């Protein structure tokens, strides 16, 4: 009888365990491991296939969490408001939605979002961090706000913006705010929000590492990676227990823990000689005089600047910059590291607890490593994966391409013998767990992905820029992405062909006004009137361009907002009405042939004075000067192109492949042109850094266009290398394909009108897809 009772009790326990939902209660799940015990996850899925449900959240890059069968996630809910969503994990049904006001929002750098922090939950409450407030707690059952714990706004020298996430441990909410001004680690009571302890971290710079727990040496330590140092703390008191001085200057990735060992892989700007001042002089020194001026630094840092300005002349020399903004006791520099550090130490463990340390160029500066079944997986930009044996750091594979180009902000996660790697471009690559790399699938979610996916109860939750997809085997395909692009406010971006104030915006392809909607053209006429144009030129005969596919593996596809094709079948009727509207507004309408326009940006301004008249009132002092330096480089590049290859950048079926057929190494003039666009890009980014709040869309557009041109020219250079040297042909063709993909993504980051979208579509049609086809054929 006792045996029967025991079996019955065991079965009941099994049922309870089975019915109890698996949790993923914080960023990357339990202890930030990125690993779930879920089974039955599909290796193939998309925005339509194996979708159990889909919910719109609003703009955000924080991950979803799952606790007690409920999904919690944040998203922007309009100007100055954030929403915390609670959804049934199995059905997506809304349980509750709570909104709170943010106050004035700080400057951030794309692709970051103000809704960047991932919540944490303990079953009773959900905890959220928001940069302008601090920590907030909501009742997990009702969504009612329980408490707020105010904290100072994080401040970043490079305007990255907040993105750190809280964790919960033994009744405390723990949060690390490593910024560039006053970094600290804090624990508050989970029930009341009252501070339990707060530990300053004065030797840290901005970073986003998640605090993790490490059980070793008979105790549990709270481990936080930061500038130059890995540190262990007592989670009960916040007292520092140990430090390992082996890390780099900027730590954006998070460590993972397994059996008392802490693993970290990270890349930080520059090398062992590049301390903070090199980055500040590169980007904050907007006039590039080698000295940092007070007005070149964010206002939050003026007090610290003034303390370091010994002669009070408003300037800091290079020798003083590091000590002004970086702790003299922690002059960590850049580089690449992969490390395994034994936990449970005391004091300085640098020489005693580092199990292995690698200086390889495999880590990412953003995506955290994944430890799964004894192997440490790393993914970085360009879609390159590496893998190491966790025991000794032995390399299993090194920077093998996953077949998915672009940036990677999300960290890999794993379950069911599968590793899920989400790219910014919206594709999720699935690897089979094993000692050799094997790709099981490349799955298209159709939307930009910055957030790390979440896994619980046999379901994969993918947070895209605007939506949350729940993926499960056998899921329906009832919810589909929008099939048409949404028109955005148009700004004047296409360079005019000016002769006596005549405007001709038609190019004979998708890049010109042939692609524009009637609303866009009406706005264009209003702009032309303000700018003093008197005449508009229109082709005598106009017909629709052939539809161009912009879904699937399309570079820069986020510019099309879910559309499958880019087309304008009503262009003839729209143009007729454009003529009539122009005449009514007093424009002279003349007939003229379309004008060929390059994808390479030019200089629309005749002189610096004209540029300053437009830019200074909008962006503030000093911005136009930096932009003019960039445009001067563009002018020089344009002259070189006109002298050597006037067709460079003009959309045509052979616009890329003709450089392969040329059969010659990259000519010196082409290399110089690429360097000039690199100069223009850097100057535009410096101008963007200097631009006042609320005006950066203009400067960022110019910077992204120059960045796109730089990558485009990289692709052309790679095609020449492939033509000149058969031994590196395959490698160079892959490099060309990747560079062109990067060019398209950079342009799409700032695309504003149909001309931008048309250019991106044409570059895909005549460039990226052609190179992709060549690669598939092994040419």
Prior bond of 556 cis (ω within 30°):
no
- As a whole number, mean pLDDT of residues 395-406 equals 93
472/590 Cα distance (integer angstroms): 59
What's the rounded mean pLDDT across residues 119-128?
98
- pLDDT classification of 443: cutoffs 50, 70, 90: very high
| Residue 322 CB contacts under 8 Å (≥ 6 apart), including other chains | 275, 276, 277, 328, 331
The set of residues, in sequence order, having a beta carbon less than 8 Å from that of 612 and lying 6+ positions away, is: 624, 625, 628
What's the first-to-final CA gap in the chain, in angstroms? Answer: 74
339-357 pLDDT, tens per residue? Answer: 999 999 999 999 999 999 9
Q: Which residue has the higher pLDDT, 660 or 320?
A: 660
Structure tokens at 619: 């962006």
Report how far residue 59's alpha carbon sits from residue 62's, in angstroms, rounded to the nearest whole number. 10
Residue for token digits 């344009």?
638
* CA distance linking residue 176 with residue 198, whole number of Å: 10
DSSP 473-538: TT--------SSPPP------SPP--SSSEE----SSTTSGGG--HHHHHHHHHHHHHTT--EEEE
Closest Cα partner for 156 from 122, 189, 138, 131? Answer: 131
Contact 361, 336 (CB under 8 A): yes
pLDDT tens for 512-555 read 999 999 999 999 899 888 878 899 999 988 999 999 999 999 99
Residue 508 sits at φ, ψ, to 5 deg, of: 80, 10
pLDDT value of residue 560: 94
Strand stretches in 279-346, DSSP E: 292-293, 315-316, 335-342
Does domain 276-325 fall into CATH 3.40.50.720? Answer: no
- pLDDT band at residue 779 under the 50/70/90 scheme: low
Token code pair at residue 643: 């002298």
Distance (Å, whole) CA 745 – CA 206:
27
* Domain regions of the chain by residue span: 23-273+330-471, 276-325, 502-776
The angle subtended at Cα 362 by Cα 359 and Cα 363, nearest 5°, is 90
Angle at 654 between CA 652 and CA 660, to 5 degrees: 150
Asked if residue 604 lies in contact with residue 527, where contact means CB atoms within 8 angstroms, the answer is no
Percent of the chain with pLDDT over 90: 76
pLDDT at res. 689: 87
pTM for the whole structure: 0.89
Q: Is the dihedral of CA 39, 43, 45, 50 positive or negative?
A: negative
**Given CA atoms 701, 703, 708, 712 in this order, what sign does their dihedral have?**
positive
> Judging by beta carbons within 10 Å of its beta carbon (0-12, 13-18, 19+), is residue 586 exposed, middle or buried?
exposed
Which of 748, 778, 621, 753 has the alpha carbon at shortest distance from 695?
Answer: 621
Upper half-sphere CA count for residue 580 (Cβ side, 13 Å): 7
Question: Facing residues of 130 across strands?
Answer: 134
Top-confidence residue, 223 or 107:
223
Q: Could you tell me the sign of the dihedral formed by the alpha carbons of 40, 45, 50, 56, in that order?
A: positive
Cα within 13 Å of Cα(658), Cβ side = 11
Mean pLDDT of 143-168: 96
Contacts of 606 (CB under 8 A, 6+ apart): none
The whole-number pLDDT of residue 495 equals: 39
CATH class of this structure's domain 23-273+330-471: mainly beta
Element (H, E) at 359: none
Query: What is the rounded average pLDDT of the residues 569-583?
Result: 93
Q: From CA 683, how far away is CA 628, in angstroms rounded?
A: 8
Phi–psi pair at 715, nearest 5 degrees: -65, -45
Q: Contacts by 139-145 with C-beta closer than 8 Å and gap 24+?
A: 140/67, 140/68, 140/70, 140/72, 140/86, 142/96, 143/84, 143/86, 143/95, 143/96, 143/97, 143/98, 144/98, 145/98, 145/100
Q: Which two tokens stand for residue 108?
A: 């951030």
- Coil vs helix vs strand at 467: strand
**Residue 289: band (very low, low, confident or very high) from pLDDT cuts 50, 70, 90:** confident
Q: What pLDDT, on the 0 to 100 scale, is given for residue 10? A: 38
In the sheet with 134-139, reading across from the earlier edge strand, the strands are 120-121, 125-130, 134-139, 145-150
Q: How is residue 422 written in tokens?
A: 């989400």
| Contact between residue 186 and residue 177 where contact means Cβ atoms under 8 Å apart | yes
Does residue 415 carry a pLDDT above 80? yes
76 SS3 class: strand
pLDDT interval class at 5 (50, 70, 90): very low
CA 52 – CA 475 distance, rounded (Å):
4
C-beta of residue 35 within 8 angstroms of C-beta of residue 459: no
In angstroms, the CA 611 to CA 530 distance is 16
Number of other residues whose CB lies within 10 A of the CB of residue 587: 20
From 384, 404, 362, 406, select the one nearest 775 (Cα to Cα).
404
- For 323, list phi and psi in degrees, rounded to 5: -75, -15
The confidence band for 7, taking pLDDT boundaries of 50, 70 and 90, is very low
User: 225 or 697, which is more confident?
Assistant: 225
pLDDT confidence of 308, banded at 50, 70, 90?
A: confident
The two most distant CA atoms of the chain are separated, in Å, by: 103
β-strand pairing of 418-422 with 413-415: antiparallel
Q: Residue 16 pLDDT more than 60?
A: no
Q: Residues 651-661: what's their mean pLDDT?
A: 93
- d(CA 119, CA 86) in angstroms, rounded, equals 11
pLDDT digits (tens, 9 = 90+) for 453-511: 999 999 999 999 999 999 999 876 444 333 223 333 333 333 333 344 788 889 999 99
**Alpha-carbon gap, residue 99 to 144, rounded angstroms:** 10
What's the rounded mean pLDDT across residues 119-124?
97
Structure tokens at 283: 């980007």
Residues 54 and 46: their CA atoms lie apart, in Å, by: 12
**pLDDT of amino acid 778:** 60
* 3-state per-residue secondary structure call for 552-596: CCCCCHHHHCCCCEECCCCHHHHHHHHHHHHHHCCCEEEECCCCC
Identify the three-state secondary structure at position 517.
Answer: coil
3-class secondary structure, 338: strand
Taking alpha carbons only, the member of 392, 391, 401, 333 closest to residue 362 is: 401
| Spatial contact of 445 and 427, defined as CB atoms under 8 Å apart | yes
Residues 6+ apart with CB under 8 A from 553: 427, 444, 772
Cα 537–chain centre separation: 40
**What are the residues facing 224 on neighbouring strands?**
231
Burial class (CB in 10 A: 0-12, 13-18, 19+), 318: middle
- Among residues 688, 705, 684, 704, the alpha carbon closest in space to that of 696 is found at 688
- Provide the pLDDT for residue 555: 94
Secondary structure string (H, E, C) spanning 381-412: CCCEEEEEECCCCCEEEEEEECCCCCCCCCCC
Cβ atoms 301, 325 nearer than 8 A: yes
């Amino acid at each position: 009888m006792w045996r029967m009772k025991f079996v019955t009790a065991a079965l009941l326990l099994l049922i309870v365990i089975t019915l109890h939902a698996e949790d993923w209660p914080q960023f990357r799940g339990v202890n930030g491991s990125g690993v779930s015990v879920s089974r039955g996850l599909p290796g193939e899925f998309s925005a339509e296939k194996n979708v159990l449900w889909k919910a719109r959240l609003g703009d955000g890059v924080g991950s979803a969490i799952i606790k007690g069968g409920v999904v919690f996630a944040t998203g922007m809910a309009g100007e100055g408001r954030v929403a915390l969503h609670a959804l049934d994990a199995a059905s997506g049904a809304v349980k509750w939605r709570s909104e709170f006001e943010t106050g004035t929002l700080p400057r951030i750098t794309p692709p970051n979002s103000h809704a960047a922090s991932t919540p944490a939950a303990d079953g009773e409450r959900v905890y959220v961090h928001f940069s302008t407030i601090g920590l907030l707690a909501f009742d997990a059952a009702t969504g009612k706000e329980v408490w707020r714990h105010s904290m100072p706004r994080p401040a970043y020298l490079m305007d990255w913006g907040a993105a750190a996430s809280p964790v919960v441990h033994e009744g405390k909410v723990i949060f690390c705010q490593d910024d560039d001004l006053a970094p600290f680690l804090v624990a508050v009571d989970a029930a009341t929000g009252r501070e339990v302890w707060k530990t300053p971290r004065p030797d840290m710079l901005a970073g986003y590492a998640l605090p993790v727990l490490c059980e070793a040496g008979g105790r549990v330590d709270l481990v936080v990676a930061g500038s130059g140092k890995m540190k262990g703390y007592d989670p009960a008191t916040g007292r520092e227990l140990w430090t390992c001085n082996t890390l780099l200057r900027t730590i954006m990735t998070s460590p993972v823990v397994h059996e008392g060992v802490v693993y970290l892989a990270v890349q930080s700007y520059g090398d062992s000689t590049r301390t903070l001042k090199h980055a500040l002089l590169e980007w904050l020194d907007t006039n590039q005089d080698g000295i940092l001026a007070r007005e070149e630094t964010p206002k939050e840092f003026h007090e610290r600047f003034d303390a370091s300005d010994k002669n009070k002349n408003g300037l800091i020399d290079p020798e003083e910059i590091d000590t002004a903004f970086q702790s003299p006791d922690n002059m960590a520099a850049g580089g690449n590291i992969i490390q395994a550090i034994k936990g449970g130490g005391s004091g300085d463990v640098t020489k005693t607890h580092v199990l292995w340390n690698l200086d390889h160029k495999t880590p990412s500066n953003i995506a955290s490593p994944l430890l799964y079944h004894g192997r440490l997986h790393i993914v970085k930009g360009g879609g390159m994966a590496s893998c190491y044996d966790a025991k000794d750091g032995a390399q299993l594979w090194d920077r093998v391409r996953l077949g998915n180009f672009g940036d990677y902000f999300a960290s890999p996660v794993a379950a069911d013998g599968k590793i899920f790697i989400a790219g910014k471009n919206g594709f999720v690559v699935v690897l089979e767990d094993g000692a050799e790399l094997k790709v099981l699938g490349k799955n298209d979610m159709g939307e930009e992905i910055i957030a790390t996916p979440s896994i619980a109860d046999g379901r994969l939750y993918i947070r895209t820029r605007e939506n949350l997809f729940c993926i499960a085997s056998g899921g329906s395909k009832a919810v589909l992405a929008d099939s048409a692009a949404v028109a955005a406010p148009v700004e004047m971006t296409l360079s005019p062909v000016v002769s006596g104030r005549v405007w001709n915006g038609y190019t004979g392809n998708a890049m010109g006004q042939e692609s524009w909607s009637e609303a866009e053209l009406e706005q264009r006429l209003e702009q032309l009137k303000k700018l003093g144009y008197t005449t508009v030129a229109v082709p005598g005969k106009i017909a629709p361009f052939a539809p161009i596919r912009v879904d699937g593996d399309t570079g820069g596809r986020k510019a099309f907002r879910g559309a499958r094709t880019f087309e304008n079948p009503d262009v003839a009727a729209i143009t007729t009405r454009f003529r009539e509207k122009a005449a009514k507004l007093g424009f002279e309408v003349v007939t003229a042939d379309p004008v060929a326009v390059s994808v390479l940006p030019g200089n629309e301004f005749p002189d610096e004075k004209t540029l300053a008249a437009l830019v200074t009132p909008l962006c503030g002092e000093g911005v136009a000067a930096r932009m003019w330096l960039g445009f001067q480089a563009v002018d020089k590049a344009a002259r070189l192109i006109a002298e050597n290859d006037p067709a460079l950048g003009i959309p045509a079926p052979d616009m890329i492949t003709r450089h392969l057929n040329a059969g010659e190494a990259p000519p010196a003039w082409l290399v110089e042109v690429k360097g000039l666009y690199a100069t223009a890009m850097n100057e535009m980014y410096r101008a963007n850094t200097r631009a006042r709040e609320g005006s950066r869309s203009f400067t960022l557009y110019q910077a992204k266009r120059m960045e796109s041109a730089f990558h485009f020219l990289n692709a052309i250079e790679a095609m020449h290398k492939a033509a000149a040297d058969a031994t590196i042909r395959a490698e160079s063709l892959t490099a060309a394909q990747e560079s062109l993909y990067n060019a398209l993504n950079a342009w799409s980051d700032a695309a504003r009108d149909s001309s931008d979208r048309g250019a991106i579509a044409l570059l895909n049609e005549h460039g990226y897809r052609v190179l992709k086809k060549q690669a598939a054929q092994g040419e």
